[in-house]
Every structure is written in structure tokens, then in C-alpha cells.
Chains A and B, each alone.
Chain A
């Protein structure tokens, strides 16, 4: 026990004596939380639209004004023929074309509406399909408004959509918990790995290996400091989410802290395991990047696990961040309790035990 304190004392002193690390632990979450939420958004805006108006009626004028006024669209031009609109699409000047047939306005009043055509550029699939959805919505809305004004019975909206838990369907609220997890993956995974392999490169580890220190004590002394660092990072990130974006957890802080505690132990364990099997910094970095990339892209941080192919979804069951992201989103947005997420907490606890044991067992004092 005393040996552990002696080693922890050493690690903490070295950490604070490092000219770079303490600053990074504060600046990294600060920059990520202040910058990334503004730029990673799937809320598509400013979709370039060209309107081909064959009708030139009051109805189309109203439609065009609506499109022009919306923040989602930027109206590029109103033209007379489809070919010139298509040319704009090919030149990349617009993302979608709305073609309104002649007689559209009259048909609407008679109750026998003509069909409008929407052509979207599929190269940027996200923008194209979102553009199509928005255009459909704006056209149907305008039509029902007009019909209502003139007392023409219209098909009432058959489907009423209500977004629960994230009322505005703000992509940012979906991303903020994921960004917190990415911070923990990066900082709490890389730091212990680099610390340990740094000792290998400096040769100081040899002096430790020739002492009677047990590998469990030594490994624990490498894990605990970064566990604390993880809480500092998470606290900064959560405070920023509240102060800058007004997002506070709907559930309890305790539920988040418990999950984070287990997850950080897992990540640091993975870092130490990788460092134990590497000889130098390059090997460690390369392996770490590989796992970080898999974790970030496959754990549902960015795209939902449910929409992955079945085999990929099966693989995600072995990725600890997957359980953590489920917990974070549920607790943050829905206010779910620890008991309701028991399975996820269990999975995280198991992964923490596995990777930390592996970290200690793969540490070789004698080769």
C-alpha cells in the first residue's frame, strides 16, 4: 500500500512538472467543446435551390417567397426551362431543382393538383436527401395553407411528428455527450500509454523492474492519475455544455460519474496494454490511433449502431464506448436511471476489470 502511494506521488509530481500535460488537459476539452459543436452538424442549411416555374401563378409566387425566406434554402434563381436549371445543378451552383408544371395553381383550386418534380444532386448525399425532404415539406405546407384559406377541404396531415427528449431534434444535443466521450477516449487512452512507453524509451523502467515492486502496484500507479485526469476533463466539458449550449443532464450527475469512472478505467487499461506490447513510441501511437478510430466511428458516437450492418453491429458489442454512449445519451437527454441501464453499467464494469487485469498481467518485469 505504501509503495502505491510512493509511486503515485512520483507520477503526480512528474505530471505537474511536465510543461505541457497540465495545460493540455485543460485546453483540449476547452477547444473541443467550444469549437466542434458548431461545425459538426447534420442540420443541413443553405441548400441551393433553382425553381423552374412553368405556372407563374399566385401560388408559385407564394411558394418561391417561402423558399427564399427560409434559412434552410438559398434561392439561386427562378428560370423558365429545366435545362438551364440542370446546368446550374451540374455546375454545382444549386443542390436541388423544383419544377412546377403549368396549371399547378389552378389544379390546386379545382382539387386536381398537378405533380411537381424535385431533382436533387446525390453527390453530397446528406445535403441532397435533406434538401428533398425540406422541399417536399415546404410544398405540401404551402398547398394546405392555400387550400385552407380558400375553404377547400384538404387532406389533413396524416402523421403528427413529436420529437420527445430532444424537442428541437437539435443535432448538437446528440453530439455533446459524444464529444465528451471522445475527449475521454483521447486523453485517458493516450496519456497512460505514452507515459509508460516513455519510461521504456528513457530506460527508467529498467530501474523499476529490478526492484521488488509488484506489477499490480506499478500498473495501478499508472492508471489512477489518469482516472483523476478523466474527471477533470469531464467536469470541464460538462460545465461548458451547460454554460455555452445550455445543456444539462436530465438524469443525475452520479449516474454519469459512475459510468465515466468505469469507462476511464477501461480506456487507461487499454492504453497500458498497448504500451506493454510496444517497444517504442511509434508502435504505441500507431496502435492507439487504430483503436481510437474504431471506437469513434463504430461505437455509435456519430452514426447510430442500429443502422449498421448486422455483422458490424455484432462487433460493436465488444467496444466499451458503445455502452458508455448509450448511458450518456440516455442520462443526459432522457434522465434515465442507473437501474434502468443496469446492463450497460455491467458491461462497462466488466470491460474495466478485463482491461485493467490485462494491463497488469501483460506488464513484464522479466523478459
Chain B
């Protein structure tokens, strides 16, 4: 098993004349919490969708969990988890039914699903809500549930697209505790965020500006490099260069 779980070279995505992602190259090591930062419209989601096998790269190459992102999209999907920007569990199914659906899709046995359901709900202190329709849960709970469902099948790497958008500070904190627990369990975490305090929690971060990666490194190293007091300052220095508007 290699130490690099994700590796891309010159990854590019064009929509007509518009280059959303412009020749990005980076590696992510197994077990890392990798922060994928950038302003709105910088190309984060597009890049992430290519890594998850939802979108074909226009050019470039890369591997995720040892599979080629150009040709082996479907094989990658067995080994990854993904939580999109939009909440995407089924609102008209209960917590239990959603867990059972995704557990079944990933081929977990009935018994395994039952075991993990209990375990998952205990982690969230959520047992009483097992038969509640997901649509009637508060947003913070939904997000935590979506994260745990995305990691239900113990993927090697999980992609989180702005998982804490619109969530209160206390829930954000709890959410990051869940991320840490998963990382400690050996799952690599690839996360985009707009909160720079969250960026400080990451092992390494990259900052995208106008489709390109402008900075990459551990938060402490980046602060040194840009002579900044916080990640927030680093981000502002770089985001100011952006020419693209939303």
C-alpha cells in the first residue's frame, strides 16, 4: 500500500472557452486531513467532482486510491466517500432507511448495517431519531448524518465539499471532532471550506485562485511563507489576486 492516496498532474477542466480548473498538480498522503481552499468560483468543486468520478477531466492525469481518474471512475467509487455541497440524503426517508440504503448499495451485509447504524447513531447521540424523516431534522444534524453516511462503508478517502456551510459554531466544532475521529481511524479527509479557523485544523492545505493552486503546505509553513499571523491573512493576500468574479 503506497503512502500517497491521491495524486494529480496537470488536471484541467474546461467548459467551452472557460477553464474552471487550470493544470493543477498535487499529492495527498494517506491519513492526512487535506484542506482544499479557495474563494467562491475558484474551481474547488469542479476539481473535487473530477476526483470523485462525477466529471471527466478535459486533460491531465491522476489516481485516487490507486485507480486512474480518466478510465477507472467506477472502480474509484468503491473506495471513496463523498458529501456534496447540497444536502443529498433522501428527505422523505427516515434516518434508518437512508443508512440502510447506502449500506446496501456498498454491499454491506444486513447485520453489518444494523451494527454500524447503532454505532453511528451513538456517535451522534442520535438514537431517538432513528425513525425520524431526514427532511425534518435541523441542518446541523443533517450535515453530521450525511458525513457519517458518507463514511459508512469505511472508505479510504472521503471528500467533503463545504460540509459546515450554514452551520452554527458549536455544531461546526462537533463536526470537526467527527472528522478527527475518522482520520484517526485511518480515513484520509479531503475537505473544502471557507472558514479559516477550520483551515488551521488541517494537516496541509492548498489555496486555489482562478482555477490554479497558488499555495500548498502545512498551515504553519504557509503563514511563515507569506509572513502572516493567521491563515485568514494568507487567504486574503492570495484571494485579492483573483480576477474572476462569480
Contacts and interface: CB of A to CB of B under 8 A. Distances in A.
Interface string A202-222: 111011111111100000000
Interface in A195-250: 202-204, 206-214
Interface string B85-108: 011111111000100111011110
Interface string B189-225: 0000000000000000000000000000000000000
B93 A6 contact: no
10 contacts: A6-B100, A9-B101, A14-B92, A203-B88, A207-B82, A207-B89, A210-B52, A212-B105, A214-B74, A365-B54
A112 interface: no
Given A7-B101, A212-B74, A214-B74, 9 more contacts: A3-B104, A10-B93, A207-B82, A209-B54, A210-B82, A212-B77, A212-B106, A365-B74, A366-B73
Interface in B22-79: 52-56, 73-75, 77-78
B104 A210 contact: no
6 closest A-B pairs by beta carbon, nearest first, are A6-B104, A203-B86, A207-B88, A210-B82, A212-B77, A203-B88
B221 to A, nearest CB: 32
B5 interface: no
Contacts of B107: 2-3
Nearest to B82: A210
Contact of B53 (A3, A6, A202, A210): A210
Contacts of B100: 6, 9
Given A204-B90, A210-B53, A212-B106, A10 B82 contact: no
A265 to B, nearest CB: 24
Given A207-B89, A209-B54, A13 B97 contact: yes
A158 interface: no
A163 interface: no
Contact of B80 (A202, A210, A214): A210
Contacts of B97: 10, 13
A359 B27 CA distance: 38
Contacts of B53: 210, 365-366
A207 to B, nearest CB: 4
Interface residues of B, number: 29
Contacts of B73: 365-366
Nearest to B73: A366
A210 B97 CA distance: 19
A307 interface: no
A150 interface: no
Contacts of B90: 10, 14, 204
A156 interface: no
Contacts of A2: 104, 107
Contact of B54 (A3, A9, A206, A213): A206
B105 A203 contact: no
A211 B103 CA distance: 11
B211 to A, nearest CB: 18
B7 interface: no
B132 interface: no
Contacts of A5: 104
Contacts of B171: none
A17 B92 contact: yes
Interface centre among A208, A210, A213 (most CB of B within 10 A): A210
A46 B53 CA distance: 68
Contacts of A3: 104-105, 107
A209 B92 CA distance: 19
B103 to A, nearest CB: 8
B19 interface: no
A366 B56 contact: yes
A210 B77 contact: yes
Contacts of B92: 13-14, 17-18
Interface string B164-188: 0000000000000000000000000
Nearest to A199: B90
A13 B92 CA distance: 9
A6 B101 CA distance: 6
Contacts of B4: none
Contacts of A31: none
Contacts of A204: 88-90
B106 A367 contact: no
B230 interface: no
Interface centre among B73, B86, B105 (most CB of A within 10 A): B105
B191 to A, nearest CB: 16
A62 B191 CA distance: 95
Nearest to B84: A206
Contacts of B52: 210
Contact of B105 (A6, A366, A367): A6
B104 A367 contact: no
B228 to A, nearest CB: 35
Interface string A23-42: 00000000000000000000
A18 B88 CA distance: 18
A367 B93 contact: no
Nearest to A207: B88
A209 B87 CA distance: 14
